[in-house]
A and B are shown apart, each in its own frame.
Chain A
């Protein structure tokens, strides 16, 4: 909790938290990246599953969008870090935030596991004409993980700490006529 307080008390954290415009602008950037670059992750997964863009080479999809997804990922994470950092104390006690961070860590594991055996071999799938089960598994897991990211991300906003409810009850009990 002290760490969280220290993070959000930096000049940058305070500036973001207290500005009427900066917070929503960062959130918009975060969400726009989810739309544009997150959508490209969906496209890649759907291609590997053999559901979408079947007329396009797998290598064209995987290689053509790779750098864009990397760029988008960096912006998304940077904006997310700014958002979380500016309200670190709130996020630190939010279970959905930690679910999201665990999912993010799993996405890292996913990349390490499948990078060589799937994502570096896209042109092989084109020459054989077969997308192996391992690649489909990678795509299905990626879909699940990213849908989890969106779900937990949105749910962060719905979490109300129990403490708050308690103090409200106490206030009501103290002022029965209010």
Chain B
């Protein structure tokens, strides 16, 4: 991992991190993190369900994507600020944690997929088995991100 030598070079000491020196900030970040991913994944799921042919059928996938995209992005922004905050509380532990590594891989894939293949298919208002597959993969990727995050505490 690239971050290990960087952290060592910076002589980063997590015990000086304010997150480790009061009782409320760490749980607060976690709560915001959960609310952030509920917002982003929930809005993404609305479009994915539509690609699967379910849910808000009176709207087209492209209409739904356009309307939900700013909220997905807002949720992502919350996730991607609170997440690294949580990470900074104990970076060496996270970097060596299999759950965390899995989560980062899944997250990278999910974000890239979200703004490339999925976006193209939704904007083209695709339907049928191919569109369903694209929506299904998106849901599976985001659930994997959540699963990886949870397993950090159990592996």
| Chains A and B belong together in one complex | yes
- On A, residues with C-beta under 8 Å from B are 20, 23-24, 27-28, 31-32, 34-43, 46, 52-57, 59-61, 64-65, 68, 147, 150-151, 154-155, 158
| B117 lies within 8 A of chain A by Cβ | no
- On B, residues with C-beta under 8 Å from A are 27, 30-31, 34-35, 37-46, 49, 54-59, 63-64, 66-68, 71, 75, 139, 142-143, 146-147, 149-151, 153-154
Give the residues in chain B near A20, CB-CB below 8 Å.
154
Whether the pair A35, B38 counts as a contact (CB closer than 8 A) is yes
Q: Which of B38, B139, B147, B153 contacts A38 (CB 8 A)?
A: B38
Closest A residue by C-beta to B41: A35
What's the Cα separation between A37 and B38 when bound, in Å? 8
Closest B residue by C-beta to A57: B58
Q: Please, could you name 26 A-B residue pairs with CB atoms under 8 Å apart, sorted by A?
A: A20-B154, A28-B147, A31-B149, A31-B150, A34-B34, A34-B38, A35-B38, A35-B45, A35-B142, A35-B146, A36-B41, A39-B39, A39-B41, A39-B45, A39-B46, A39-B75, A40-B42, A46-B71, A52-B68, A53-B67, A54-B67, A57-B58, A65-B55, A147-B35, A154-B30, A155-B31
Whether the pair B67, A60 counts as a contact (CB closer than 8 A) is no
Are A158 and B27 CB-contacts (below 8 A) given A35-B38, A56-B56, A147-B35? yes
Give the A-B pair count, Cβ closer than 8 A: 110
Give the residues in chain B near A55, CB-CB below 8 Å.
63, 66-67
Closest A residue by C-beta to B147: A28
Give the residues in chain A near B34, CB-CB below 8 Å.
31, 34, 150, 154
